[in-house]
Structure 1
Amino acid sequence: MGARDGAQALRAAQCPRRGRGDRTRESNHRGRVNPAARVFVSAGSNIDPRANLETACRALKRHYGEIELSPLYQSPAEGFSGPDFLNLVAGFETEESPGEIRKRLAELEARAGRDRSGGKFSSRTLDLDLLLYDDRVDASLKLPHPDIERYAFVLKPLADLAPDLRHPVSGATIAELWRSFTGPRHLRLCSPPLAWSVDDRDVAAEPHGGVHAPPGKGWRAKP
């Protein structure tokens, strides 16, 4: 083996090829390698809401692995007359970029039959929004999402899931934002959260009433 071949072999040994399961996010500046980002996504529906939210959560779990779910809340339609919405927030870690996550959320909305012709204030099968991506602040990506401080049905489940998390702009914790929230609080806690659960041997109950599933454990519908 020549010197050139030896150097190539050494580099290959020191830098093994990464698969999908052990990728890391590489920063666009300073050449740093960052760990997976902590992400929060809001989910809402007022057309067959339990079934559509269940399907969305199953899809998120299959793709991202371990996820946490807030309690499920019922709230009146905002800005138009229509059936009540069911809302929750999901949290997970991922190496995907914000753009990749938003593309995947849009695919899930389309798969659920989301009709965008009715405008912002209209009934919908599924509405998914990227709320937070670590402490990223980017107006073009709506990060952090303005609905966090605008609507109770977004802020309250997020506060249940991550009360001590600090808002990237204001610096206040999510719990503090909820305590100082002055908008309408027309929310009703739904029980059970959804008509499905993980296996009882694998689920860990959270103090806020949500659920937490370890990696590799799939969701299954309750009989």
Structure 2
Amino acid sequence: MAKVYLGLGTNLGDKEQNLRDAVQKIEEQVGKVVSLSAFYVTAPWGFASENSFLNAAACVETELSPLEVLQETQMIERELGRTKKSVNEIYSDRLIDIDLLLYEDLVLSVISASGAELILPHPLMAERDFVMKPLAEIAPGLVHPVLGKTMKELTSSFSPQ
């Protein structure tokens, strides 16, 4: 069993229910959710929107490979109503976003058969407080495999909100 860390976000509709639905589908299609952070209200990142986000992080034990986790989480996004992905760092409002942040301590960059790019650890995770705060809540001592710092140490670089 591999431990996978996922970042979850939503800023449309019933946000709390969107996250709960995503967690349920992750349990059904990816693996056992062994920890789930609190839900954090955050401002949009990388684009302007009147809709705040609700974000969380989850640790999942899975038998799936990294690419299979990516495929399953993208399928869950579609099942929950997400119709388009962010491309070239152009972001928009979304019903659900599930990011594969870490897969064990794997460092990887690969393109799937469908053309989706998977980079592990997630290349922008340490820059995003909406990812790091929930992640540090559930895995404060987890070490980033590239940066060599714990999630708690990485979170301390963000100014208090």
Corresponding residue of 2:50: 82
Q: Which amino acid aligns with 2:22?
A: A
Is the 8 Å Cα contact of residues 149 and 177 (structure 1) preserved in structure 2? yes
Correspondence for 2:119 among 117, 142, 147:
142
Determine the structure 2 residue equivalent to 1:131.
101
Distance 1:66 1:116, change over 3 A: closer
Identity of matched residues, %: 38
Q: TM-score, structure 2 length as denominator? A: 0.86
2:137 corresponding residue in structure 1 = 160
Superimposed CA distance per residue, residues 13-49 of structure 1 (whole angstroms, 9 cap, x where no aligned partner)? xxxxxxxxxxxxxxxxxxxxxxx11100001000121
Bigger drift between 108-117 and 90-99 goes to 108-117
Task: Check whether the contact 2:26–2:33 (CA below 8 A) recurs between aligned residues.
Answer: no
How many residue pairs get aligned? The number is: 149
Counterpart CA distance in 2 for 1:161 and 1:146 is: 20
Pick the structure with greater CA Rg: 1
2:88 paired with 1:111: no
Q: Partner residue of 2:128?
A: 151
Pick closer, same or farther for the CA change 1:152–1:66 going to 2, 3 Å: closer
Return the offset for 1:62: 2.7
Of the two structures, which has the highest relative contact order with CA contacts closer than 8 Å and spacing of 6 or more?
A: 2
The 1:122/1:169 distance shift into structure 2, 3 A limit, reads same
1:41 paired with 2:41, answer no
Query: AA paired with 1:76?
Result: A
Task: Choose between structure 1 and 2: higher strand proportion.
Answer: 2
CA contact (8 A) 1:156 1:178 kept: yes
Q: Is the contact made by 1:82 and 1:123 (CA closer than 8 Å) also made in structure 2?
A: no
**Conserved? CA contact 2:9–2:54, under 8 Å:** yes
Q: Specify the SS of the correspondent of 1:129.
A: strand
List per-residue Cα deviations over 1:91-113 (Å, max 9, x = no partner): 01111101000000001100111
TM norm structure 1 = 0.63
CA offset digits 1:73-129 (Å, max 9, x no partner): 001112222300000001011111010000000011001111217753110000001
Residue type matched to 1:159 in 2? A
- Aligned-partner Cα distance in 1 for 2:140–2:107: 19
SS in 1 for 2:120: coil
Work out which of the residue numbers 144, 147, 150 in structure 2 matches 1:173.
150
In the superposition, relative to structure 1, how do residues 138 and 117 fare at CA in structure 2: closer, same or farther (>3 Å)? closer
Question: What's the counterpart of residue 73 of structure 1?
Answer: 40
**Cα distance change, pair 117–100 in 1 and its aligned pair in 2 (3 A):** closer
Q: Which runs of 4+ in 1 moved over 2 A?
A: 117-120
The one-letter code of the counterpart of 2:130 is F
